[in-house]
Chains A and B, each alone.
Chain A
């Protein structure tokens, strides 16, 4: 896939599993410097609800950790259709947030 994508438009987009089930939403992109350039090496996908995503949930008020979610490596996410990001692996292969 060879594309120029507006990363900010991916924010909040629904991610689907390899068998097209809704999985969560893109909430953060982690970049790492390699040589002269920065690369997106991980995508944080949140499975929690809207309030949690905005950090406004009860968990925050009570001082607990943010809601559920996963860290998806760059090679585990298929962005060939930016409107519909898909996992390339199974959910079990993902790291928890």
Chain B
């Protein structure tokens, strides 16, 4: 009974940090410019993410190693240094964008310029990590993140027809702006399948001390959790499609995106949008900073863990603190969060093959996953993701220039 409760909590809290600056930006733009026709991209991206998360969780539960630890041990530092460095750079950029997202949300609520909020937000995020523990952080972020369900409610209240929705799940080539469409597809995938999410998920499995007995929990949390989270991204896309599409609004600021809530929520539109954006981004910011600590600690062999005494994990604390400090510094220089988001999303796509390839090996290595190796379906899916990832990696930079 307790396991069922924890499972439900796990699924529900997966919303926290799932919908953040990347998915809100890409879903809003996708809906505004292409109507329903990119719903299939959100679905495919979620499928990839859930499959990879399940594998990351299985790896952690059976081998008792997180992704970063397993990659270091199986492939050595010469291989790992590349995805590790890339991930740290991308995560810092993404963290900067998330802090920017929170700052913009607060600006929308208070009218006070967004630059003033970067440092306070960074400080609060740090305090959450300094004082919290894993359950408090995860459950807190998750429960607060429920406000993002406003996107789902809005989409529901706008009464899209079944035809429109179902049609969106069938991949079609659009009549106009094919490069932009391709760019949006790739961006949606890059915004969803963030490398930090995978290592974070596997680290969480270790923090929660999952074992082989918990593999079913892992499967359900990965699939239903990510699935649940994706309904929010889809809600955002559908709402943007119905409200912003006909107005031919090209979403270039978050203030413009917030307009999608007006028909449904009236004078609460901006408040609800700001709360969803702000809380979603804050949750992601906390997770990304924490993950920087995880990746470094696990790769380099430090004592790590947010449930341990801070005194015993000083290097780990230094890592998450420094990355937050760095992101605050970059954000304070002044930048366009939407632009930084799209850059981090593009970079995520570029390193995706390097992140996924180790899975192909680890999921088939009995030394790591015991008898729970991936069957033909799992390997087929991994091979597909790797190949698609490589293809996307090759086109994303040209697409960004042509369609971005």
| CB neighbours of B357 from chain A (8 A) | 56
Select B383's contact among A12, A55, A61, beta carbons within 8 Å. A61
B364:A60 contact, CB within 8 angstroms: yes
| CB neighbours of A56 from chain B (8 A) | 357, 360-361
Q: Which of A11, A12, A56 has the most CB of B within 10 A?
A: A56
- A interface: dominant SS: loop
A11:B361 contact, CB within 8 angstroms: no
Stretch in B74-82, B103-111, B239-247, B255-263 with 4+ CB within 8 Å of A: B74-82
- B interface: dominant SS: helix
B379:A61 contact, CB within 8 angstroms: yes
| CB neighbours of B383 from chain A (8 A) | 61
| CB neighbours of A11 from chain B (8 A) | 76
Closest partner residue, chain A, to B380 (CB atom):
A61
Give A56 to B361 CA distance when docked, in angstroms.
7
B358 to chain A, nearest CB (A): 8
Interface range, B side: 10 to 19
Give A12 to B76 CA distance when docked, in angstroms.
11
Given the known interface contacts A60-B360, A60-B361, the answer about A12 and B379 at a Cβ–Cβ threshold of 8 Å is no
Give A55 to B364 CA distance when docked, in angstroms.
11
Select A54's contact among B79, B364, B379, beta carbons within 8 Å. B79
| CB neighbours of A61 from chain B (8 A) | 360, 379, 383
A residues 47-71 touching B (CB-CB < 8 Å): 54-56, 60-61
| CB neighbours of B360 from chain A (8 A) | 56, 60-61
Give A56 to B82 CA distance when docked, in angstroms.
16
**Quick one: CB contact mask for B224-235 with A, threshold 8 Å, 1 for yes?**
000000000000
Give A54 to B357 CA distance when docked, in angstroms.
10
B361:A12 contact, CB within 8 angstroms: no
Give A11 to B361 CA distance when docked, in angstroms.
20
| CB neighbours of B78 from chain A (8 A) | 12
B residues 324-366 touching A (CB-CB < 8 Å): 357, 360-361, 364
B366 to chain A, nearest CB (A): 13
Give A13 to B357 CA distance when docked, in angstroms.
24
| CB neighbours of A60 from chain B (8 A) | 360-361, 364
B361:A55 contact, CB within 8 angstroms: yes
Give A60 to B383 CA distance when docked, in angstroms.
12
Give A56 to B36 CA distance when docked, in angstroms.
38
A36 to chain B, nearest CB (A): 27
A28 to chain B, nearest CB (A): 11
| CB neighbours of A54 from chain B (8 A) | 75, 79, 361
Closest partner residue, chain B, to A60 (CB atom):
B361
**Quick one: CB contact mask for A64-91 with B, threshold 8 Å, 1 for yes?**
0000000000000000000000000000
15 contacts between A and B (CB under 8 A): A11-B76, A12-B78, A54-B75, A54-B79, A54-B361, A55-B361, A56-B357, A56-B360, A56-B361, A60-B360, A60-B361, A60-B364, A61-B360, A61-B379, A61-B383
Query: Lowest 6 CB-CB distances: which A-B pairs, in order?
Result: A55-B361, A56-B357, A54-B79, A56-B361, A54-B75, A61-B383
